[in-house]
Structure 1
């Protein structure tokens, strides 16, 4: 570590994987001071650069300037330190939908030197508890409207301190009331550039969350790399999108990227295509981050008279961009759709199309600072045209909390993603398939084993197997093959009961939209379920 850590709580330092298991980090062109606080850089730092009167956040019926955001986050940081007892290095969980208050809480905790764990509002107590236990989270701040599951989590985690904030920004919760009495200046903790600032959890193919650890400098690298080179973000830009801020894709696209360059971010709690269309028309949004399924719906709205002409950049990630969607968007708008691929382990997009260099059914070329290749099982580079595993390295890279399965993701200094790709003769990368049992539905990653575990907790289920099946609207849906126990009958009522059970047990978006009842599941001689045979039958 170049600088001396500012963390009094050394948990993240102590639980970084061994340095020799890290991927190669290619930092040429990304030069930051040894002391760096990303929260300060995106607020006070922007005011110091002259952006104080520029709009930073749009949401909850109002605009907030960079000066207002700076004052707000400084007040909140005082509460976290003075009243909530947060010390540098503590892990702070944030539970909220996408709204300005969540962004403010994230920035405030980062200024205070905390390591933030952003979480989706759909997560249940059992999932939140896994995060708390794995990252030894000491503090949680939660939107008052989402306290039920947070309370259940706190009951299971006796040492967890919880404070509520008002996601509607009406200052009616404890955190907000205390903040009103605080000064608008706060001395941000002088964190090291290589102090951990964020833990992003990824479920992986097993459903067991793995924490990916990202430094303060990493949060700025993705803006100074991808956002600057590919999107060419300008202060006049207005961002809109659907990915949750709990995803690193959403945090980058809807918070870090606009705030790094003096632009504005519109934040929608319900980022449905109709809501996004309304925001684009109202605020003349210029940059959109969402999945192909949403772009299809937005194009349908355009046929009904919606005006999306202000958009100059339509970024697609989270699932494969079908060529027909790319072609239709270009035909309707005259502008390209920028397909790209990123990973929680890498923090954000590392291969992308460009405005002046784009092709259908193509993911593009590496972002400046990154290198990519297609490798075989032994890690050797494959010839152009051959399908293999995608390997990438650059200024960001995988560092799993506690080094959990680090060796599975990093090989010989390269990050090995869970995707199969091929590279054409011109150097462009093309997606082929997933390497694991992850189901990608409407941009959400859903681990089949996790859904199976939820189903098996129902008294009627004797055995089950979950697979992903193609779906025109969502890319894929979760399909459950279920063997019922003796005395239980299949049918629409049982289907609804199992779906409701899954929704109540884990995040609702993970529920099986298709349930197939079977007398038996295909198995090997040793009793292992053969999911590939179920997929072949589709």
Structure 2
């Protein structure tokens, strides 16, 4: 593997990349991409706008502030100076970030990268025991944290001796802000990093077990903008982006930072991002592009009456499969199609999606320009169209786990094998079936849990649901549904029977849930993804 000369002083990240033989095929030329050998992504995302005379354009709108690109650039420079002059960070050091999607979180994120560091962002909801793993795995000595989220991080520090310094921000007199105010800190020369220097370690959300650290290069931050952003999303500089996904979830990083900043657009970052809060932000700030999950779109539907969201023009759904009933209901209510997409932390962002003019409801879409996708059969060979199999993808970005033997599972014969079961049709559109380990085999039938979930969600009284296989001595497994109902609806035997009949009337009767359990909430990751493995444990009597 040929690397450019690293700009890192601490070589931990490059030293812990997978062996060359375990890498996927990564082809920039086929995607029509070319980046210089020396590249610091923040120069392109922020500084270039200031240099081109666009510094007065609005970069970030918060609940109580507006920063233009010049103001954002100065804050990034001040934090970068604090990191290198006061906190001892050298290029290649990993820095843990802990905050909600605040303007300061964005500035800190980009400052670490501009200073040649490696960002490890964490979900605000993580507890101490969940923070210990990335701290130790990535050997992190320095953390920047919102002052409101210090308790769990300080508790984690007791179990992670690698972490020697925590610096708070977010209050007017927090340590980071005090250090930033020093004279002469308003300018900072970006570190001379290589385009293939690691700048981000994104830990997976743990839907399938212990999180994995995915390593991404400086150039990768631009790749997703120049492929999905430019050729599928097709936003414009006057757009305003809003969303709910945390920046630690790379879906949120792309949607709320990278895509808008690449084109000089605006990120709207409200303090709260629940469904009602997103509607408020759209109405108040005239947001035009939204990135959120299917469950949020469904929850917003009941709250739209009397609200003005006419500024919206692009609605992106990812993070979980998009049920067709949610697509149909949103389009009927707003006249806007939902742009579905599948991405992965391993691939940084979305690699299959259809542009708005080519959406087929119920399909995830087609490969993003620059990417290839195929379906593999049980022998690892390409399956014919119309046959379900494992989704495999390759392109200008690929999986590189941080010192993890699971690299050899995710990457096979140069392809990134995502763990999803799909069907490709004759027109090249991909149709999601299930996570490969979520297929339910009952009396010889293969049943995709998400298909049953989609049928249940079409019932007006079902808010959320999760469907898994439960052990059965006669059938091997039965389909079991865990259902969250609308407030005021009684979850009794009669209603369970009504739901079963509803499913039988909408999909093949053998797929109906033979067991239904009504629950107040579903187990989810910090990024809001349903943890079906947790439901499977409950169904097996292990939860």
Same fold (TM over 0.5): yes
Aligned: 1:73 with 2:76: yes
C-alpha contact 1:212 1:398 (8 A) present in aligned 2: yes
CA displacement at 1:294 relative to structure 2:
1.1
Change (3 A) 1:437 1:102: farther
Structure 1 residues 337 and 512: CA distance shift in structure 2, 3 A: closer
| From 203, 208, 211, the counterpart of 2:210 | 208
Distance change in 2, residues 1:109/1:415 (3 Å): same
8 Å Cα contact 2:103-2:269 kept in structure 1: yes
Match of 1:158 in 2: 161
- CA offset at residue 261 of structure 1? 0.6
In structure 2, do the counterparts of structure 1 residues 473 and 263 end up closer, same or farther at CA, with 3 Å as the change threshold?
Answer: farther
Instruction: Give the structure 2 partner of residue 15 of structure 1.
Output: 16
Structure-2 change in CA distance of 1:326 and 1:532 (3 Å): same
Question: CA–CA distance in 2 between the matches of 1:232 and 1:316?
Answer: 15
Question: How far apart, CA to CA, are the structure 2 residues paired with 1:78 and 1:322?
Answer: 47
- The corresponding residue for 1:236 is 238
Residue equivalent to 1:84: 87
- Check the 8 A contact 1:163/1:174 in 2, yes or no: no
Give the alignment partner of residue 266 of structure 2, picking from 245, 250, 264.
264
Once the 2 structures are TM-superposed, how far is the Cα of residue 205 of structure 1 from its aligned partner? 5.1
Is it true that 1:62 corresponds to 2:65 in the alignment? yes
How does 1:57-206 map onto structure 2 within 5 Å? 57-167=60-170, 170-182=171-183, 183-204=185-206, 206=208
Does the CA contact (< 8 Å) of 2:288 and 2:313 recur in 1? yes
Q: Distance in 1 between matches of 2:375 and 2:398?
A: 17
User: Secondary structure of the equivalent of 1:164?
Assistant: strand
Secondary structure of 1:396's aligned partner: coil
In the other structure, the counterpart of 1:218 is 220
Q: Secondary structure of the equivalent of 2:43?
A: helix
Alignment-derived partner of residue 481 in structure 1: none
Residues 21-36 of structure 1: pairs in structure 2 closer than 5 A: 21-28=22-29, 29-36=32-39
Paired residues for 1:123-522 under 5 Å: 123-167=126-170, 170-182=171-183, 183-204=185-206, 206-302=208-304, 304-436=305-437, 469-471=481-483
**Cα distance in structure 1, aligned partners of 2:531 and 2:394:** 36
Q: Where does structure 2 lack aligned partners over 5 or more consecutive residues?
A: 440-448, 458-463, 469-478, 487-518
> What secondary structure, in the 3-state scheme, does the structure 1 residue paired with 2:303 have?
helix
CA distance in 2, matches of 1:188, 1:533: 53
2:403 aligned counterpart, secondary structure: helix
Within 2, Cα distance between the matches of 1:346 and 1:469? 31
Q: Partners in 2 of 1:223 and 1:355 — Cα distance?
A: 17
> Judging changes above 3 Å, is the alpha-carbon distance between structure 1 residues 335 and 31 closer, same or farther for their aligned structure 2 residues?
same
**How far did 1:186 drift?**
0.1
Q: CA deviation at 1:293?
A: 1.4
Q: Secondary structure at the match of 1:73?
A: helix
How far 1:203 sits from its partner (Å)? 4.3
Cα 1:5–1:511 change in 2 (3 A) is: closer
1:101 is paired with a residue of what secondary structure?
A: helix
Contact 1:8/1:88 (8 A) holds in 2: yes
1:48 aligned to 2:51? yes
Q: TM-score, normalised by structure 1?
A: 0.82
| C-alpha deviation, 1:436, in angstroms | 2.8
1:311/1:131 Cα in 2 relative to 1: closer, same or farther (>3 Å)? same
What is the CA–CA distance in structure 2 between the aligned matches of 1:533 and 1:155, rounded to whole Å? Answer: 35
Deviation, structure 1 residue 207? 2.3
SS in 2 for 1:328: helix
Deviations 1:260-294 (A, max 9, x none): 11000011342111111011011111100011111
Q: Tell me which moved more, 5-14 or 396-405.
A: 396-405
Equivalents in 1 of 2:14, 2:139: separation in Å?
13
Using the TM superposition, give the Cα deviation of residue 162 of structure 1 relative to its aligned residue in structure 2, in angstroms: 2.8
In 2, the alpha carbon distance for the partners of 1:265 and 1:39 equals: 16
Matched-pair contact (CA < 8 Å) for 2:207–2:530: no
- Secondary structure at the aligned position of 1:385 is classed as coil
Q: Name the count of aligned residue pairs.
A: 472
Q: TM-score, normalised by structure 2?
A: 0.81
Unaligned runs of 5+ in 1: 449-466, 475-494, 517-528
CA contact (8 A) 1:100 1:267 kept: yes
